[in-house]
A and B are shown apart, each in its own frame.
Chain A
Amino acid sequence: MAFYQAGDSRVHRLNPVTKLVFALVLIIAAFAINVVWWPAVLWLVLLPAVAASGVFRPFMSRTLRYFIPFIALIFLAQGLFYPEGGPVLFHLGPLSVKVNGLLFAAQTALRLLVLIDAFLFLLLTTHPGLLMSALTERGMPPNISYVVSATLQIIPTFRARAQGILQAQRARGLDTGGGGPIRRTRSLVPLVAPLVLGSLTDVEERAVAMEARAFGAPGRRTSLAEIPDSAAQKAARWLMWAFAAATLVANALGVVS
C-alpha cells in the first residue's frame, strides 16, 4: 500500500500478471546476458512504460532513495576490493582501484537497478489486493496471498496496538518523551513484551475468525475483483517469456558476451 499510486492509466488497467511477467522477464534478461551496458538498455525500455502510467516522479524519487546507497556500497566494495587482477587505475594506500572492479561494479549496479525498478514499477501501478487476487485465481495457495497482504497491513495494525500500550504505560507513569534517541529507544523497551505477547494472543482469535469465514475451505477461490485480461495480453506474456528464454539460450550458447 505504501507504494501503490492510484490511477487509471492503461498500465494501471493491465492484468497484474502481465505486469508481473514484464518485471520478471526484465530481471531474467538483465542477469542472463553478461554485457556491462545490457541492463542499462533494459532499464531504458522500462522508462516509457513508467511515463505512460503517470508515476514517473514517485518512480524516480524512490529509485534514487533506495538505489543510491546500493550504488555507493557496490562501487566501494568492488572498486577497492575486487579480487581478480587487471589494470589498476590508481592506488589508495594499501588498496588499488582496478578497471575490472569498476566494470563489475557498474554491471552489478545496473542489474540491481533493473531488479529494483522492475518491481517498483509493478508495485506503483498495481493494487496489492488485485495482484494477490490475480495470483490466487491462477492457483497460488491462498496462504501465500494472505501472508503477503497481511504483511502489507501489519504496520498500521502494530502501530495502533503499540499506541494503545504506550498510552496505558504513560498512564502508569512511564516517561517516553524527551531525551536523545538512545533514551527514547530505551524507553520503548517496555512496549516490546506486551506488543509481541498481545499479538500472539490475538493470533488464536484471528485464526478462529478466519476459519469462520471459510479460510480453510478446500477448492478453488474466486474473486470479487474483476481482473482484466485479453488475448493481446496473453500473447504479450508468451512473447515476453520467449524473450527471457532467448536471453538465457543466448547466454548458454555464448552468442552475446
Chain B
Amino acid sequence: MITFTDFTYAYPTSDAAVLRGIATEIPDGQLCGLVGPGGAGKSTFAYAASGFIPHVMGGESTGGVSVDGRPVADTPLSELVAQVGLVLQDPFNQISGAKFTVREELAFGLENLGLPRAEIIARVDDMLDRLGIAALRDRSPYELSGGQQQLVALGSVLVMRPSVLVLDEPTSQLDPAGTRLVFGALDEVRRTGITVLLVEHKLEQLAGVADRVLVLAGGELRLDGPPETVLADPRLAEWGVGGTRFTEAARRAGDRWPAGRPLPVTLDAAVEGFAR
C-alpha cells in the first residue's frame, strides 16, 4: 500500500512546488494508473512513491509518503528498494552495464542484497519463465530490442519480490510491439497481487489494465476513479491529457452512440456500444 499524506514537494534547484497537497492511498493489490500532461509532476510522484525522493533527489517537502506503513523518508533506500521496485522510461539506461547476459542482469539486484546463490538461481530462472524471456537468457542485454530490454528491466526489479511496483512511463520509448510486450507482462504482474503505480501516456492500453486512474495536472490531483469514468471525463482535454480514440469516436458519433450509455475507453466497450 502506498500512502500520500498531504504531500508537497519542491526540487532543490527550485522554490516552486512540483507536487502540492497530494493525499491519496493506493491499496494492496491495486493497479493504479497515473496520467497527466508533460510537466504535471508524474515522474516526481513516481520518485516520491519509491523513496528516491528524498533519498536521492533531496529537496524540500511537507506531509509524507509511506509504503506498507513505513515512512519512506525514514527508511534507508537500500531497505526500501527490496520493498518498492522502480522501472524507468529508457530501457537502455536501465541496463546495469555490470553484467554480460540477461540471466546475470536479472541476478544483479539479488547479488547486491547478498541472497544465497541457490535462491538467486531459483528466482532468476522463475522470472525468466514468467516473463517469457527464457530464450534470451544467455544474450547480452545490449543486443535486445527496446521492448525486450524493458522486460529485462521489469524482471530485474520483480525478481527482488517487492510488494509495490512503480513504473514511470515504461513504454514511452517503445514501438507498438514493445508496448504490447510490456503490457502483456504487466497483466501477468497484476495476477501476483502486487500493488502497482503505473505512470502512462498510452491511455487505451492503460484502460485495459488499470483498476483505478489518477489525473495529475499542475502538481495537483484532479481526478481519481475507475478508468471508465476518469478516462472518459471531458475535462481531460482541458488539462492537456487528451482521451482514448474510443471515447473520441463515440463523442463524434453523436446520435449514433446510444443515449445515456457511458462513453467507452476500451475497444470492447466501443464495439459493444456501436453494435446496439
Contact = CB atoms under 8 A, between A and B. Distances in A.
A and B physically associate = yes
Interface of A: 1, 127-129, 132, 142, 145-146, 149-150, 153-154, 156-157, 160, 202, 205-226
Contact of A206 (B77, B93, B103, B113): B93
Contacts of B124: 224
Which secondary structure dominates chain A's binding surface?
A: helix
Contact of A223 (B47, B100, B117, B153): B117
Contact of A213 (B93, B112, B115): B112
A213 B160 CA distance: 8
A205 B88 contact: yes
Given A157-B142, A213-B156, A218-B78, A1 B113 contact: no
A123 to B, nearest CB: 14
Instruction: Using C-beta atoms within 8 Å of the partner chain, give the interface range for chain B.
Output: 35 or more
B112 A221 contact: yes
Contacts of A150: 96-98
B86 A208 contact: yes
A224 B121 contact: yes
Contact of A202 (B87, B93, B107): B93
Nearest to B107: A224
B96 A213 contact: yes
B86 A224 contact: no
A146 B104 CA distance: 13
Interface in B47-84: 47, 50, 52, 56, 77-78, 81-82
22 contacts: A1-B100, A128-B100, A129-B101, A153-B142, A156-B140, A207-B56, A209-B86, A209-B88, A209-B96, A211-B52, A211-B77, A212-B87, A212-B157, A213-B96, A213-B112, A213-B160, A215-B96, A215-B112, A217-B114, A222-B111, A223-B111, A224-B120
Contacts of B86: 208-209, 212
Which secondary structure dominates chain B's binding surface?
A: helix
B113 A157 contact: no
A222 B115 contact: yes
A216 B99 CA distance: 16
Interface in B22-60: 47, 50, 52, 56
A211 B97 contact: no
Interface of B: 47, 50, 52, 56, 77-78, 81-82, 85-90, 92-94, 96-101, 103-104, 107-117, 120-121, 124, 140, 142, 153, 156-157, 160
B108 A213 contact: yes
A209 B81 contact: no
Contacts of A225: 104
Contacts of A208: 47, 52, 56, 86, 88
Given A129-B104, A222-B120, 17 more contacts: A146-B97, A149-B99, A149-B100, A153-B97, A153-B100, A156-B142, A208-B86, A209-B88, A211-B56, A213-B156, A213-B160, A215-B96, A215-B112, A217-B114, A222-B117, A223-B117, A226-B117
B81 A149 contact: no
| Closest A-B pairs by Cβ, 7 of them | A213-B109, A224-B107, A217-B78, A150-B97, A214-B112, A209-B94, A212-B86
Contacts of B116: 222
B172 to A, nearest CB: 13
Nearest to B124: A224
Nearest to A146: B98
A127 B100 contact: yes
- With most chain A CB atoms within 10 A of its CB, the pick from B89, B90, B112, B160 is B112
Given A127-B100, A129-B100, A215-B112, A205 B117 contact: no
B93 A219 contact: no
- With most chain B CB atoms within 10 A of its CB, the pick from A142, A212, A220 is A212
Contacts of B89: 205
Contacts of B77: 211, 216
Nearest to B78: A217
A122 to B, nearest CB: 17
Contacts of A154: 97
Contacts of B98: 132, 145-146, 149-150
- With most chain A CB atoms within 10 A of its CB, the pick from B94, B116, B121 is B94
- With most chain A CB atoms within 10 A of its CB, the pick from B87, B100, B120, B157 is B100
Given A205-B90, A221-B114, A224-B121, A216 B142 contact: no
